[in-house]
Amino acid sequence: MKKLLSLIKACMTDNMKFFNIRTKNKNNKTSNKLIPILLMFAIFVSIWSYANMMMEPLRDMHLEFILLTLFALFTSLFVLIEGIYKASSLLFNCKDDNLMFSLPIKRSTVLFIRIFKFYVFELFFNTLFLVPAIVVYVSYMNPNITFYIVSIIALLLLPIMPIVISSIIGGIISITSSKFRLKNLAQICITMLFLLIIMYLSFNLQTVIKNIAQNASSLNDIITKLYYPVGAYIKLITNFNIKDLALFIIIHLVVFIGMIFILSKIYFKINSNVKSVKTVHNKSGYIIKTRTPMLALIKKEINRFVSTPVFVINSGFGLVFYIALCVLVSLKIETSIQMISGQGLDISFNVQDAIQHIPLIQFGLVCFASLMSSITCSMISLEGKSFNILKSLPIKPAKIILSKVYAAVAIMIPFILIGDLIMFIRFRFSILEMITIIIASIILPLVSELIGIIVNLKYPKMDAENDTEVVKQSMSSFVAVFAGMILLGVTIFLLVKAVQFNIQNSLIILIGLLAYTIIYIILLLYLKRKGVKEFNSINV
């Protein structure tokens, strides 16, 4: 038992440090605890405020328990989607498989540790998102002791069903995707869709809450009948029965034990299939393609981007959201103006004004897509321990650095041009406006990615334990995004001021394009002078 506990403790340190932020001093092993606590507190307060907003109309109808119905369902869906996202790394195709299978321990023990680690991960998210709703319910209802007992048991058991379902889906995705080159496509698409739904709900929160309140009773009946865990939980807190509680616990334990039993029969076969490597060649032998060093480096960076889901989601969501905004503006410009005015911005455009200034709106959208989607801010850090190999290549450092910039721009420009095309088809643009916006769609990504690579060279994180730590928790990512936000804010402010002075749209875009071209030249000169020195000074 002591060995098992030690092994669990060792395995839990890998991929389970949610917000681990280290100091630059390698000898200092203590983690900065303040930022994780503040981040979790911010999430708690945000969910608590949403729960309070929903509780007000539900209280008027004496249907307070429906708040827990909705949040329990939402949390289960979130755990399910997050479970599908994490199943490939926590259950299948784990990085430490070779080490674990070489240890003198039973394979069933390895499987138990995998599932336990998965459960703890999902339990964290379940607790983080459901507890604020429970706190709001308690503040309004002042329930008896049985409510607290049932809620604690529910917090422990509600993640089980989503884990079982996500393990099945994750296993199918892992087996299927291993046969294709784009292994993470399904995972990326699901996460992107989920984020877009969250953004839509955020922009239409008041309408959504109003509709939920009006149809609360019927929604509760549907949810509790279709999804047993939530239905049983709500039944227990509204009409407690010890037999129902025992049945609630037994069903979840049986399902969990059954999942472990079934996985023990097929897990290692699935894992070996996922790790299998297939080679393809034609009748005459292998096909060898030759490329110039620059093209080879660009292809390498694009492959790295596509093969890292957290990288795609974090850096690519802004581009997907940009296309969604272009489609929304094209189809429902009235709704778009209402959304903008509803976010607390001091913009008094009506629909006619908006149509008249559509070229400026599109220029602002291009600025948003470019400046809020920095890809290069993580590219140096993602090299990790292989960075010295990159430095040893017989290629000038300037070319290596620029290859990362060009790869990022090659990823961004197609998305931005698609948005341009949608707007050009829907609205009338002059030839000059179309040309300047297309040029801006090239210059602005270059500016954004030059900022990203300069910041990453200044603040590299070469000792990260995983890609998530680099992409989401590094200093370079924070600084690059913050710099992009400042530039975007200044640009939008100047565009609004230029409109107030009745300057022509084409002239405003030309001035903006000229300003960003000057910024691009300055950044490029700085990169060639200082960036190469910083590149050479990085040692792993």
Q: Can you tell me the distance from the alpha carbon of 212 to that of 451, in angstroms, rounded to the nearest whole number?
A: 44
515 lies in some domain: yes
Beta-carbon-side half-sphere exposure of residue 72 (alpha carbons within 13 Å): 29
- Domain limits for position 440: 293-537
CB-based contacts of 339: which residues, under 8 Å, 6+ apart?
Answer: 203, 328
* Residue 164 and residue 75 in one domain: yes
Q: Can you tell me the distance from the alpha carbon of 449 to that of 375, in angstroms, rounded to the nearest whole number?
A: 7
Q: 262 is written with which tokens?
A: 């079934």
* Residue 168 and residue 215 in one domain: yes
* Residue 267 and residue 323 in one domain: no
pLDDT at 196: 67
Tell me the backbone φ, ψ of residue 346, rounded to 5 degrees: -85, 70
Q: Report yes or no on whether pTM surpasses 0.75.
A: no
- Cα 87 to chain centroid, rounded: 16
* 26 to 23, 29, 304, 461: CA distances (angstroms): 7, 7, 27, 12
Q: 415 is written with which tokens?
A: 């998305």
Q: In the predicted model, what is the mean pLDDT of residues 165-188?
A: 63
Q: In the predicted model, what is the mean pLDDT of residues 162-191?
A: 65
* Residue 176 and residue 231 in one domain: yes
pLDDT at 29: 43
285 lies in some domain: no
* Residue 268 and residue 351 in one domain: no
* Residue 196 and residue 234 in one domain: yes
Out of 4-18, 320-334, 460-474, least confident range: 4-18
* Residue 339 contacts residue 432 (beta carbons within 8 Å): no
Q: In the predicted model, what is the mean pLDDT of residues 301-326?
A: 82
Burial 90-110 (b: 16+ CB within 10 A, else e): bbbbbeebeebeeeeeeeeeb
* Residue 373 contacts residue 412 (beta carbons within 8 Å): yes
* Residue 403 contacts residue 301 (beta carbons within 8 Å): yes
Q: Can you tell me the distance from the alpha carbon of 236 to that of 486, in angstroms, rounded to the nearest whole number?
A: 51
Which of 275, 305, 326 marks a domain boundary?
275
Q: Can you tell me the distance from the alpha carbon of 207 to that of 400, in angstroms, rounded to the nearest whole number?
A: 50
Q: In the predicted model, what is the mean pLDDT of residues 283-306?
A: 73
Q: What pLDDT digit, counting tens, does each position of 221-280 carry?
A: 676 677 888 888 888 888 888 998 999 999 999 988 888 788 777 766 666 665 554 444
Alpha helices by DSSP H, listed for 204-241, are 205-214, 216-226, 228-238
Q: 517 is written with which tokens?
A: 């071209």
283 lies in some domain: no
**What DSSP designation does 53 have?**
H
* Residue 247 and residue 309 in one domain: no
Q: 163 is written with which tokens?
A: 């884990």
Which of 275, 309, 338 marks a domain boundary?
275
145 lies in some domain: yes
* Residue 299 contacts residue 291 (beta carbons within 8 Å): yes
* Residue 121 and residue 248 in one domain: yes
Q: Is the pLDDT of residue 179 over 90?
A: no
* Residue 455 and residue 321 in one domain: yes
281 lies in some domain: no
CB-based contacts of 423: which residues, under 8 Å, 6+ apart?
Answer: 326, 329, 330, 358, 362, 365, 429
Which of 246, 275, 304 marks a domain boundary?
275
* Residue 387 and residue 533 in one domain: yes
Q: Is the pLDDT of residue 212 over 80?
A: no
Selection from 188, 29, 20, 16 nearest residue 118 by Cα: 16
* Residue 186 and residue 304 in one domain: no
Amino acid at 236: L
* Residue 382 and residue 460 in one domain: yes
More confident residue, 512 or 85: 512
How many domains are there within the chain?
Answer: 2
Residue 482 — very low, low, confident or very high, per pLDDT cuts 50/70/90?
confident
* 195 to 14, 189, 199, 313, 495: CA distances (angstroms): 26, 10, 6, 9, 29
Q: List the beta bridge partners of residue 285.
A: 282
Selection from 400, 402, 408 nearest residue 312 by Cα: 408
Q: Can you tell me the distance from the alpha carbon of 359 to that of 348, in angstroms, rounded to the nearest whole number?
A: 17
